[in-house]
Structure 1
Amino acid sequence: MKHFLRPLFDRVVIKELEPERFRRSGLLVPAGSNEPPPQHGIVLAVGQGQDWWEHVGFRMPIQPGDHVVFPASAGAWVEVDEERLLVCRVAELLGVMEEIPDGPEPGRVVD
């Protein structure tokens, strides 16, 4: 039987991507830094958010399939069907990696 980990409240389930893909993404940690570099992965599942979010018009800012960056200290690692997954709160995420087309930066005027 296969299992699915359904996150509760404002938690997300992330499958970490391989470190070599991280280097190709363009994110760099300065040399000599004692902090481990941020990690990244693909969101597999998203909780429904906190019960008060709907009243203030806030929705979960990520969805399954998003490529996210998170600190090495984020959340808790669990093993489901021999697969290592991270469960963390959405507030622990550093950001979402998005692809932009080649060309000028958005909002930048080109002469």
Structure 2
Amino acid sequence: MNIRPLGDRVVIKRLEAEETTKSGIVLPGAAKEKPQEAEIVAVGPGGVVNGKEVKMEVKVGEKVLFSKYAGNEIKMDGVEYTILKQDDILAVIE
């Protein structure tokens, strides 16, 4: 992938949605929610954004939780990615 986010932006790839519920019910494609978990694929340099110093707190390869309607979805080489601001990331999964 040749994508380099600018400023405080991050490129993520959503993790696969669960196909069955905890009780064992298989969900059809339309019933699945998009997951809010993702893996970070690329991180911008940070720096000064809108007059404020922004330090990037996430790294490539980390798994994160992000806001449900955050970012812009793009498709490159048949793979879907989301570009969002670091502020839209809620937590790092350890």
Normalised TM-score (structure 1): 0.64
Look up the equivalent residue of 2:70 and give its one-letter code. Answer: A
- The alignment of Structure 1 onto Structure 2 pairs a total of residues equal to 80
SS at match of 1:86: strand
Structure 2 residue 72 is the aligned partner of structure 1 residue 76: yes
Look up the equivalent residue of 1:86 and give its one-letter code. Answer: T
Look up the equivalent residue of 2:89 and give its one-letter code. Answer: L
- After TM superposition, give the deviation of residue 38 of structure 1 in Å: 6.1
Question: CA–CA distance in 2 between the matches of 1:37 and 1:46?
Answer: 22
**RMSD (Å), alpha carbons:** 2.3
Go from structure 1 to structure 2 and tell me whether the alpha carbon gap of 1:61 and 1:84 turns closer, same or farther (over 3 Å shift). same
* Aligned-pair identity (%): 35
Question: CA–CA distance in 2 between the matches of 1:16 and 1:90?
Answer: 15
**Structure with the bigger percentage of strand:** 2
Gaps of 5+ in 1: 25-35, 99-111
Task: Check conservation: 2:74, 2:82, Cα contact below 8 A.
Answer: yes
Larger Rg: 1
Question: CA–CA distance in 1 between the matches of 2:41 and 2:17?
Answer: 18
Partner residue of 1:44 out of 36, 41, 47: 41
Look up the equivalent residue of 2:81 and give its one-letter code. Answer: L
Look up the equivalent residue of 1:77 and give its one-letter code. Answer: E
Question: CA–CA distance in 2 between the matches of 1:73 and 1:89?
Answer: 12
Question: CA–CA distance in 2 between the matches of 1:37 and 1:15?
Answer: 12
Look up the equivalent residue of 1:68 and give its one-letter code. Answer: V
**Structure with the bigger percentage of helix:** 1
Gaps of 5+ in 2: 23-32
Spell out the pairing of 1:71-110 with structure 2 (5 A cutoff).
71-98=67-94
Runs of 4+ more than 4 Å apart = none
